[in-house]
Structure 1
Protein backbone atom coordinates (compact mmCIF):
# COMPACT_ATOMS: atom_id res chain seq x y z
CA UNK A 1 0.00 0.00 0.00
CA UNK A 2 1.44 3.35 -0.97
CA UNK A 3 1.85 6.20 1.51
CA UNK A 4 -0.78 8.29 -0.27
CA UNK A 5 -3.44 5.61 0.18
CA UNK A 6 -2.62 4.50 3.71
CA UNK A 7 -5.25 6.36 5.78
CA UNK A 8 -3.67 5.40 9.14
CA UNK A 9 -0.30 6.81 8.16
CA UNK A 10 -1.96 9.94 6.74
CA UNK A 11 -3.95 10.35 9.95
CA UNK A 12 -0.82 10.06 12.12
CA UNK A 13 0.94 12.59 9.89
CA UNK A 14 -1.95 15.04 10.18
CA UNK A 15 -2.13 14.74 13.98
CA UNK A 16 1.63 15.25 14.16
CA UNK A 17 1.36 18.29 11.88
CA UNK A 18 -1.49 19.76 13.95
CA UNK A 19 0.70 19.53 17.07
CA UNK A 20 3.75 20.98 15.27
CA UNK A 21 1.58 23.90 14.09
CA UNK A 22 1.03 24.90 17.76
CA UNK A 23 4.74 25.66 18.23
CA UNK A 24 5.72 29.34 18.01
CA UNK A 25 9.08 30.89 17.12
CA UNK A 26 11.44 31.27 20.06
CA UNK A 27 10.02 28.24 21.87
CA UNK A 28 11.75 25.56 23.90
CA UNK A 29 10.02 22.36 22.78
CA UNK A 30 9.86 18.99 24.53
CA UNK A 31 10.20 16.30 21.86
CA UNK A 32 8.39 13.10 22.73
CA UNK A 33 8.78 9.51 21.62
CA UNK A 34 6.73 7.26 19.33
CA UNK A 35 5.38 6.99 15.79
CA UNK A 36 2.91 9.91 15.82
CA UNK A 37 5.31 12.22 17.67
CA UNK A 38 7.95 11.36 15.07
CA UNK A 39 5.76 13.07 12.45
CA UNK A 40 5.45 16.13 14.71
CA UNK A 41 9.26 16.31 14.88
CA UNK A 42 9.46 15.96 11.09
CA UNK A 43 6.96 18.80 10.54
CA UNK A 44 8.78 21.01 13.07
CA UNK A 45 11.93 20.49 11.02
CA UNK A 46 10.08 21.41 7.82
CA UNK A 47 8.69 24.59 9.40
CA UNK A 48 12.22 25.55 10.45
CA UNK A 49 13.69 24.86 7.00
CA UNK A 50 10.96 26.89 5.26
CA UNK A 51 11.58 29.85 7.56
CA UNK A 52 8.00 29.73 8.88
CA UNK A 53 9.48 28.99 12.32
CA UNK A 54 12.70 30.29 13.84
CA UNK A 55 14.83 30.14 16.97
CA UNK A 56 13.38 27.00 18.53
CA UNK A 57 15.29 24.45 20.58
CA UNK A 58 14.26 20.90 21.35
CA UNK A 59 14.65 18.84 24.50
CA UNK A 60 14.43 15.15 23.51
CA UNK A 61 12.83 12.59 25.81
CA UNK A 62 14.68 9.63 24.31
CA UNK A 63 17.51 8.53 22.07
CA UNK A 64 14.91 8.09 19.29
CA UNK A 65 13.71 11.69 19.64
CA UNK A 66 17.29 12.96 19.68
CA UNK A 67 18.17 11.10 16.46
CA UNK A 68 15.02 12.36 14.69
CA UNK A 69 15.59 15.96 15.81
CA UNK A 70 19.12 15.91 14.41
CA UNK A 71 17.87 14.32 11.18
CA UNK A 72 15.31 17.12 10.69
CA UNK A 73 17.65 19.95 11.70
CA UNK A 74 16.12 20.88 15.06
CA UNK A 75 18.77 22.33 17.43
CA UNK A 76 18.84 20.54 20.79
CA UNK A 77 19.39 21.79 24.32
CA UNK A 78 19.23 20.33 27.85
CA UNK A 79 17.34 21.03 31.05
CA UNK A 80 20.59 22.42 32.51
CA UNK A 81 20.66 25.15 29.88
CA UNK A 82 17.04 26.40 29.91
CA UNK A 83 14.75 27.89 32.54
CA UNK A 84 11.50 26.79 30.92
CA UNK A 85 9.83 24.47 28.40
CA UNK A 86 7.11 26.28 26.44
CA UNK A 87 5.44 23.27 24.86
CA UNK A 88 5.94 19.50 24.85
CA UNK A 89 4.51 17.13 22.22
CA UNK A 90 4.22 13.46 23.06
CA UNK A 91 2.14 10.37 22.44
CA UNK A 92 0.34 8.07 24.87
CA UNK A 93 -0.65 4.42 25.12
CA UNK A 94 -3.96 5.18 26.85
CA UNK A 95 -5.96 8.37 27.51
CA UNK A 96 -8.92 8.46 29.91
CA UNK A 97 -11.82 10.99 29.92
CA UNK A 98 -9.91 13.19 32.43
CA UNK A 99 -6.90 13.36 30.05
CA UNK A 100 -4.87 11.15 32.37
CA UNK A 101 -2.46 8.87 30.53
CA UNK A 102 -0.58 5.62 30.58
CA UNK A 103 2.73 6.00 28.78
CA UNK A 104 5.85 3.90 28.52
CA UNK A 105 5.27 1.58 25.57
CA UNK A 106 8.60 2.85 24.28
CA UNK A 107 10.22 2.56 27.73
CA UNK A 108 10.97 6.31 27.75
CA UNK A 109 8.33 7.37 30.32
CA UNK A 110 10.78 8.62 32.98
CA UNK A 111 12.36 11.25 30.74
CA UNK A 112 8.98 11.95 29.16
CA UNK A 113 7.37 12.67 32.53
CA UNK A 114 10.16 15.06 33.53
CA UNK A 115 9.90 17.02 30.27
CA UNK A 116 6.11 16.86 29.86
CA UNK A 117 5.44 17.93 33.46
CA UNK A 118 7.80 20.92 33.15
CA UNK A 119 6.13 22.18 29.96
CA UNK A 120 3.83 25.19 30.08
CA UNK A 121 1.62 23.35 27.58
CA UNK A 122 1.68 19.56 27.14
CA UNK A 123 0.10 18.41 23.87
CA UNK A 124 -0.77 14.71 23.54
CA UNK A 125 -1.04 13.19 20.05
CA UNK A 126 -2.89 9.88 19.71
CA UNK A 127 -5.19 7.91 17.45
CA UNK A 128 -8.67 7.03 18.66
CA UNK A 129 -7.67 3.47 19.61
CA UNK A 130 -5.80 4.96 22.60
CA UNK A 131 -8.95 6.49 24.13
CA UNK A 132 -10.27 4.38 27.04
CA UNK A 133 -12.96 4.71 29.72
CA UNK A 134 -10.53 3.62 32.42
CA UNK A 135 -6.74 3.45 32.50
CA UNK A 136 -5.23 -0.03 32.44
CA UNK A 137 -8.08 -1.54 30.45
CA UNK A 138 -6.07 -2.18 27.26
CA UNK A 139 -2.45 -1.48 28.19
CA UNK A 140 -0.17 -2.75 30.95
CA UNK A 141 1.31 -0.13 33.29
CA UNK A 142 5.09 0.25 32.77
CA UNK A 143 7.29 0.72 35.85
CA UNK A 144 10.99 1.57 35.48
CA UNK A 145 13.07 -0.23 38.10
CA UNK A 146 16.73 -0.25 39.15
CA UNK A 147 18.11 -3.70 38.18
CA UNK A 148 19.29 -4.61 41.70
CA UNK A 149 15.77 -4.01 43.10
CA UNK A 150 13.86 -6.04 40.49
CA UNK A 151 12.75 -8.92 42.74
CA UNK A 152 11.68 -6.91 45.83
CA UNK A 153 9.87 -4.37 43.63
CA UNK A 154 7.92 -7.13 41.88
CA UNK A 155 6.96 -8.59 45.27
CA UNK A 156 5.78 -5.17 46.47
CA UNK A 157 3.70 -4.69 43.31
CA UNK A 158 2.05 -8.10 43.83
CA UNK A 159 1.04 -6.99 47.35
CA UNK A 160 -0.70 -3.99 45.73
CA UNK A 161 -2.76 -6.41 43.60
CA UNK A 162 -0.72 -6.08 40.42
CA UNK A 163 0.63 -8.84 38.20
CA UNK A 164 4.16 -7.77 37.17
CA UNK A 165 6.15 -9.19 34.26
CA UNK A 166 9.67 -8.20 33.23
CA UNK A 167 9.59 -6.68 29.73
CA UNK A 168 11.75 -8.70 27.37
CA UNK A 169 13.52 -7.35 24.31
CA UNK A 170 12.44 -7.95 20.71
CA UNK A 171 15.30 -9.00 18.41
CA UNK A 172 17.46 -8.90 21.54
CA UNK A 173 18.23 -11.65 24.05
CA UNK A 174 17.20 -10.66 27.58
CA UNK A 175 15.19 -7.79 29.02
CA UNK A 176 14.53 -4.31 27.65
CA UNK A 177 17.03 -1.79 29.04
CA UNK A 178 15.95 1.88 29.21
CA UNK A 179 18.05 4.86 28.10
CA UNK A 180 18.92 5.24 31.82
CA UNK A 181 20.18 1.65 32.05
CA UNK A 182 17.21 0.33 34.05
CA UNK A 183 14.64 -2.44 33.52
CA UNK A 184 10.90 -2.18 32.84
CA UNK A 185 8.20 -4.16 34.62
CA UNK A 186 4.79 -4.20 32.91
CA UNK A 187 1.98 -4.51 35.44
CA UNK A 188 -1.61 -5.71 34.99
CA UNK A 189 -4.05 -4.23 37.51
CA UNK A 190 -7.65 -5.46 37.45
CA UNK A 191 -8.77 -1.90 38.25
CA UNK A 192 -6.98 1.44 38.42
CA UNK A 193 -9.74 3.36 40.16
CA UNK A 194 -7.46 6.04 41.60
CA UNK A 195 -4.58 6.70 39.17
CA UNK A 196 -3.23 9.64 41.22
CA UNK A 197 -2.93 7.51 44.36
CA UNK A 198 -1.42 4.56 42.48
CA UNK A 199 1.15 6.81 40.79
CA UNK A 200 2.41 7.96 44.21
CA UNK A 201 2.22 4.50 45.82
CA UNK A 202 4.31 2.87 43.08
CA UNK A 203 6.90 5.65 43.10
CA UNK A 204 7.28 5.21 46.88
CA UNK A 205 8.49 1.62 46.46
CA UNK A 206 12.29 1.68 46.99
CA UNK A 207 13.96 0.84 43.68
CA UNK A 208 11.21 2.27 41.47
CA UNK A 209 12.46 5.17 39.39
CA UNK A 210 9.15 6.16 37.75
CA UNK A 211 5.91 4.68 36.44
CA UNK A 212 3.80 5.31 33.36
CA UNK A 213 0.82 7.00 35.03
CA UNK A 214 0.65 10.65 33.93
CA UNK A 215 -2.03 12.27 36.09
CA UNK A 216 -3.15 15.88 35.58
CA UNK A 217 -0.25 16.62 33.22
CA UNK A 218 -2.00 16.86 29.81
CA UNK A 219 -3.33 20.19 28.56
CA UNK A 220 -4.39 19.38 24.98
CA UNK A 221 -5.21 15.96 23.52
CA UNK A 222 -5.33 15.76 19.71
CA UNK A 223 -7.06 12.60 18.50
CA UNK A 224 -6.78 11.23 14.98
CA UNK A 225 -9.44 8.99 13.50
CA UNK A 226 -10.47 7.52 10.16
CA UNK A 227 -13.99 8.44 9.05
CA UNK A 228 -15.30 7.36 5.65
CA UNK A 229 -11.76 6.34 4.73
CA UNK A 230 -10.37 9.82 5.43
CA UNK A 231 -8.31 11.10 8.36
CA UNK A 232 -9.95 13.53 10.78
CA UNK A 233 -8.58 15.24 13.88
CA UNK A 234 -10.50 16.32 16.93
CA UNK A 235 -9.50 17.78 20.27
CA UNK A 236 -10.60 16.15 23.50
Structure 2
Protein backbone atom coordinates (compact mmCIF):
# COMPACT_ATOMS: atom_id res chain seq x y z
CA UNK A 1 0.00 0.00 0.00
CA UNK A 2 1.32 3.45 -0.89
CA UNK A 3 2.23 5.87 1.89
CA UNK A 4 1.58 8.80 -0.45
CA UNK A 5 -0.96 11.32 0.79
CA UNK A 6 -1.20 14.10 -1.76
CA UNK A 7 -2.72 17.45 -0.88
CA UNK A 8 -5.84 18.61 -2.71
CA UNK A 9 -3.73 20.95 -4.84
CA UNK A 10 -1.39 18.12 -5.82
CA UNK A 11 -4.41 15.98 -6.67
CA UNK A 12 -5.59 18.75 -8.98
CA UNK A 13 -2.15 18.91 -10.56
CA UNK A 14 -1.91 15.18 -11.37
CA UNK A 15 -5.45 15.24 -12.80
CA UNK A 16 -4.48 18.21 -14.98
CA UNK A 17 -1.33 16.45 -16.17
CA UNK A 18 -3.34 13.31 -16.99
CA UNK A 19 -5.61 15.41 -19.21
CA UNK A 20 -2.63 16.17 -21.47
CA UNK A 21 -3.16 12.70 -22.98
CA UNK A 22 -6.25 14.09 -24.72
CA UNK A 23 -4.26 16.79 -26.52
CA UNK A 24 -2.82 16.22 -29.99
CA UNK A 25 -0.93 18.48 -32.35
CA UNK A 26 -3.14 20.87 -34.30
CA UNK A 27 -6.03 20.73 -31.83
CA UNK A 28 -8.31 23.60 -30.90
CA UNK A 29 -8.58 23.58 -27.11
CA UNK A 30 -10.96 25.27 -24.67
CA UNK A 31 -9.29 26.34 -21.44
CA UNK A 32 -11.30 26.39 -18.23
CA UNK A 33 -11.12 28.77 -15.28
CA UNK A 34 -10.10 28.22 -11.67
CA UNK A 35 -7.24 26.72 -9.69
CA UNK A 36 -7.49 23.24 -11.24
CA UNK A 37 -7.76 24.58 -14.80
CA UNK A 38 -4.73 26.80 -14.12
CA UNK A 39 -2.67 23.66 -13.48
CA UNK A 40 -3.76 22.37 -16.88
CA UNK A 41 -2.94 25.63 -18.68
CA UNK A 42 0.56 25.65 -17.19
CA UNK A 43 1.12 21.97 -18.06
CA UNK A 44 -0.24 22.49 -21.57
CA UNK A 45 2.06 25.43 -22.16
CA UNK A 46 5.03 23.30 -21.11
CA UNK A 47 3.94 20.36 -23.32
CA UNK A 48 3.38 22.61 -26.34
CA UNK A 49 6.83 24.15 -25.95
CA UNK A 50 8.66 20.85 -25.32
CA UNK A 51 6.98 18.97 -28.16
CA UNK A 52 6.55 21.84 -30.61
CA UNK A 53 2.78 21.45 -30.71
CA UNK A 54 0.70 23.89 -32.70
CA UNK A 55 -2.43 24.50 -30.63
CA UNK A 56 -5.14 27.14 -30.77
CA UNK A 57 -6.74 27.90 -27.41
CA UNK A 58 -9.95 29.62 -26.35
CA UNK A 59 -9.92 30.78 -22.69
CA UNK A 60 -13.10 30.98 -20.62
CA UNK A 61 -12.10 34.08 -18.64
CA UNK A 62 -9.83 37.09 -18.70
CA UNK A 63 -7.68 35.47 -15.99
CA UNK A 64 -7.19 32.29 -18.04
CA UNK A 65 -6.48 34.36 -21.15
CA UNK A 66 -3.68 36.15 -19.30
CA UNK A 67 -2.18 32.92 -17.95
CA UNK A 68 -2.37 31.18 -21.33
CA UNK A 69 -0.47 34.00 -22.99
CA UNK A 70 2.12 34.01 -20.20
CA UNK A 71 2.92 30.31 -20.79
CA UNK A 72 3.22 30.83 -24.55
CA UNK A 73 -0.06 29.38 -25.81
CA UNK A 74 -1.76 30.78 -28.92
CA UNK A 75 -5.05 32.38 -27.87
CA UNK A 76 -8.09 33.14 -29.98
CA UNK A 77 -11.86 33.54 -29.53
CA UNK A 78 -14.92 31.51 -30.42
CA UNK A 79 -15.80 34.14 -33.01
CA UNK A 80 -12.63 33.23 -34.90
CA UNK A 81 -12.72 29.53 -34.00
CA UNK A 82 -16.33 28.45 -33.35
CA UNK A 83 -15.65 24.69 -33.18
CA UNK A 84 -13.22 23.19 -30.65
CA UNK A 85 -11.84 19.68 -30.33
CA UNK A 86 -11.78 19.52 -26.54
CA UNK A 87 -12.29 21.66 -23.46
CA UNK A 88 -10.52 20.84 -20.21
CA UNK A 89 -12.00 22.44 -17.11
CA UNK A 90 -12.48 21.89 -13.39
CA UNK A 91 -15.69 21.50 -11.41
CA UNK A 92 -16.97 22.41 -7.97
CA UNK A 93 -18.97 19.19 -7.70
CA UNK A 94 -19.12 16.00 -9.79
CA UNK A 95 -22.27 13.98 -9.19
CA UNK A 96 -23.69 10.78 -10.65
CA UNK A 97 -23.55 10.43 -14.48
CA UNK A 98 -21.01 13.25 -14.67
CA UNK A 99 -23.51 15.91 -13.62
CA UNK A 100 -21.62 19.01 -12.50
CA UNK A 101 -21.89 22.19 -10.51
CA UNK A 102 -19.54 24.87 -11.83
CA UNK A 103 -19.19 28.60 -11.38
CA UNK A 104 -17.32 28.97 -8.11
CA UNK A 105 -14.78 31.07 -10.00
CA UNK A 106 -17.49 33.21 -11.57
CA UNK A 107 -16.93 32.12 -15.20
CA UNK A 108 -19.88 29.73 -15.63
CA UNK A 109 -21.38 31.52 -18.64
CA UNK A 110 -18.23 31.49 -20.74
CA UNK A 111 -17.34 28.01 -19.47
CA UNK A 112 -20.66 26.61 -20.66
CA UNK A 113 -20.48 28.38 -24.03
CA UNK A 114 -16.98 27.04 -24.67
CA UNK A 115 -17.90 23.53 -23.48
CA UNK A 116 -20.87 23.44 -25.86
CA UNK A 117 -18.61 24.49 -28.72
CA UNK A 118 -16.34 21.50 -28.07
CA UNK A 119 -16.51 17.94 -29.39
CA UNK A 120 -15.75 16.75 -25.87
CA UNK A 121 -15.37 18.18 -22.38
CA UNK A 122 -12.87 16.63 -19.99
CA UNK A 123 -13.28 17.51 -16.32
CA UNK A 124 -10.31 17.52 -13.94
CA UNK A 125 -10.64 17.60 -10.16
CA UNK A 126 -9.35 16.40 -6.81
CA UNK A 127 -11.23 13.56 -5.14
CA UNK A 128 -13.14 15.84 -2.75
CA UNK A 129 -15.20 17.10 -5.69
CA UNK A 130 -16.85 13.71 -6.31
CA UNK A 131 -20.18 13.63 -4.45
CA UNK A 132 -23.19 11.28 -4.19
CA UNK A 133 -25.59 14.08 -5.15
CA UNK A 134 -25.30 17.69 -6.28
CA UNK A 135 -26.12 20.66 -4.09
CA UNK A 136 -23.79 20.82 -1.12
CA UNK A 137 -21.73 23.38 -3.03
CA UNK A 138 -23.92 26.49 -3.45
CA UNK A 139 -25.34 26.66 -6.97
CA UNK A 140 -24.09 29.76 -8.85
CA UNK A 141 -26.67 31.56 -10.97
CA UNK A 142 -25.60 34.46 -13.18
CA UNK A 143 -28.20 37.22 -13.55
CA UNK A 144 -28.39 40.58 -15.28
CA UNK A 145 -28.19 43.56 -12.90
CA UNK A 146 -31.57 44.97 -14.01
CA UNK A 147 -34.23 43.65 -11.65
CA UNK A 148 -31.74 41.36 -9.92
CA UNK A 149 -33.66 41.33 -6.65
CA UNK A 150 -36.88 40.34 -8.42
CA UNK A 151 -34.99 37.65 -10.32
CA UNK A 152 -33.67 36.34 -7.01
CA UNK A 153 -37.24 36.04 -5.75
CA UNK A 154 -38.23 34.07 -8.85
CA UNK A 155 -35.24 31.77 -8.34
CA UNK A 156 -36.29 31.03 -4.77
CA UNK A 157 -39.85 30.34 -5.89
CA UNK A 158 -38.59 27.90 -8.50
CA UNK A 159 -36.88 25.84 -5.84
CA UNK A 160 -40.20 24.90 -4.25
CA UNK A 161 -41.24 23.26 -7.51
CA UNK A 162 -38.27 20.90 -7.44
CA UNK A 163 -37.89 20.04 -3.77
CA UNK A 164 -35.16 22.60 -3.16
CA UNK A 165 -35.03 24.89 -0.17
CA UNK A 166 -32.12 27.10 0.79
CA UNK A 167 -30.88 30.64 1.24
CA UNK A 168 -29.77 32.70 -1.72
CA UNK A 169 -27.07 35.36 -1.48
CA UNK A 170 -25.56 37.87 -3.87
CA UNK A 171 -21.86 37.10 -4.34
CA UNK A 172 -19.49 39.84 -3.22
CA UNK A 173 -15.83 40.49 -3.96
CA UNK A 174 -12.94 40.91 -1.53
CA UNK A 175 -14.01 44.50 -0.91
CA UNK A 176 -17.57 43.58 -0.01
CA UNK A 177 -18.93 44.96 -3.27
CA UNK A 178 -21.14 42.91 -5.63
CA UNK A 179 -19.01 40.49 -7.65
CA UNK A 180 -19.18 41.35 -11.36
CA UNK A 181 -18.51 38.70 -14.00
CA UNK A 182 -16.47 39.19 -17.15
CA UNK A 183 -19.84 39.72 -18.86
CA UNK A 184 -20.76 42.50 -16.39
CA UNK A 185 -23.42 40.41 -14.68
CA UNK A 186 -24.06 39.45 -11.04
CA UNK A 187 -24.02 36.02 -9.40
CA UNK A 188 -26.38 34.55 -6.83
CA UNK A 189 -25.12 31.60 -4.80
CA UNK A 190 -27.92 29.27 -3.76
CA UNK A 191 -27.21 27.06 -0.73
CA UNK A 192 -29.43 24.05 -1.33
CA UNK A 193 -27.73 21.14 0.38
CA UNK A 194 -29.22 18.72 -2.13
CA UNK A 195 -30.79 19.03 -5.58
CA UNK A 196 -33.25 16.13 -6.03
CA UNK A 197 -34.01 16.92 -9.69
CA UNK A 198 -31.06 18.70 -11.35
CA UNK A 199 -32.51 18.30 -14.85
CA UNK A 200 -35.88 19.79 -13.92
CA UNK A 201 -34.39 22.65 -11.92
CA UNK A 202 -31.82 23.46 -14.59
CA UNK A 203 -34.41 23.55 -17.36
CA UNK A 204 -36.71 25.79 -15.32
CA UNK A 205 -33.94 28.22 -14.34
CA UNK A 206 -32.92 28.55 -17.99
CA UNK A 207 -36.40 29.85 -18.81
CA UNK A 208 -36.47 32.54 -16.11
CA UNK A 209 -36.14 36.09 -17.48
CA UNK A 210 -33.12 37.75 -15.92
CA UNK A 211 -31.19 34.51 -15.51
CA UNK A 212 -28.24 34.55 -17.90
CA UNK A 213 -26.94 31.07 -17.01
CA UNK A 214 -26.80 28.63 -14.12
CA UNK A 215 -24.00 26.41 -12.82
CA UNK A 216 -25.67 23.05 -13.51
CA UNK A 217 -23.66 21.39 -16.30
CA UNK A 218 -25.79 18.40 -17.29
CA UNK A 219 -25.05 16.00 -20.13
CA UNK A 220 -22.02 18.05 -21.15
CA UNK A 221 -18.96 16.29 -19.70
CA UNK A 222 -17.59 13.22 -21.49
CA UNK A 223 -15.14 12.07 -18.82
CA UNK A 224 -13.71 13.20 -15.50
CA UNK A 225 -10.13 12.66 -14.35
CA UNK A 226 -9.93 12.53 -10.57
CA UNK A 227 -6.59 12.98 -8.84
CA UNK A 228 -6.41 10.95 -5.64
CA UNK A 229 -4.43 11.18 -2.42
CA UNK A 230 -2.51 7.98 -3.28
CA UNK A 231 -1.04 9.66 -6.41
CA UNK A 232 -3.34 7.77 -8.80
CA UNK A 233 -5.89 9.19 -11.25
CA UNK A 234 -9.34 7.66 -11.70
CA UNK A 235 -11.33 8.12 -14.90
CA UNK A 236 -15.09 8.51 -14.54
CA UNK A 237 -17.39 8.01 -17.51
CA UNK A 238 -21.18 8.14 -17.95
The answer as to whether partners of 1:141 and 1:188 remain within 8 angstroms in 2 is yes
Q: Which residue of 2 aligns with 1:109?
A: 108
The answer as to whether partners of 2:82 and 2:117 remain within 8 angstroms in 1 is no
CA distance in 2, matches of 1:191, 1:34: 23
Q: Which residue of 1 aligns with 2:192?
A: 189
CA distance in 2, matches of 1:199, 1:86: 26
Structure 1 window deviating more from structure 2 (184-193 vs 214-223): it is: 184-193
The answer as to whether partners of 2:30 and 2:59 remain within 8 angstroms in 1 is yes
Q: CA 1:173–1:191 in structure 2 vs 1: closer, same or farther (change >3 Å)?
A: closer
Q: Which residue of 2 aligns with 1:152?
A: 150
Unaligned stretches of 5+ residues in structure 2: 160-164
CA distance in 1, matches of 2:215, 2:6: 30
Q: CA 1:15–1:212 in structure 2 vs 1: closer, same or farther (change >3 Å)?
A: same
CA distance in 2, matches of 1:186, 1:121: 27
Query: 5 Å matches for 1:1-236?
Result: 7-50=7-50, 52-136=51-135, 138-161=136-159, 162=165, 163-170=167-174, 172-227=175-230, 231-236=231-236
C-alpha displacement of 1:83: 3.9
The answer as to whether partners of 2:55 and 2:74 remain within 8 angstroms in 1 is yes
C-alpha displacement of 1:22: 1.4
CA distance in 2, matches of 1:215, 1:6: 29
C-alpha displacement of 1:179: 0.5
The answer as to whether partners of 2:6 and 2:228 remain within 8 angstroms in 1 is no
- CA shift digits 1:51-73 (9 cap, x unpaired): x2522110000111101100100
CA distance in 2, matches of 1:96, 1:203: 20
The answer as to whether partners of 2:151 and 2:209 remain within 8 angstroms in 1 is yes
The answer as to whether partners of 2:45 and 2:68 remain within 8 angstroms in 1 is yes
Unaligned stretches of 5+ residues in structure 1: none
Query: Helix, strand or coil for the counterpart of 1:121?
Result: strand
The answer as to whether partners of 1:221 and 1:235 remain within 8 angstroms in 2 is yes
Q: Which residue of 1 aligns with 2:162?
A: none
C-alpha displacement of 1:118: 1.7
Q: CA 1:53–1:12 in structure 2 vs 1: closer, same or farther (change >3 Å)?
A: farther
TM-score (norm 1): 0.91
C-alpha displacement of 1:141: 0.4
How many residues of Structure 1 are paired with residues of Structure 2 in the alignment?
226
- CA shift digits 1:123-154 (9 cap, x unpaired): 00011111111110x20000001111211111
C-alpha RMSD over aligned residues:
1.5
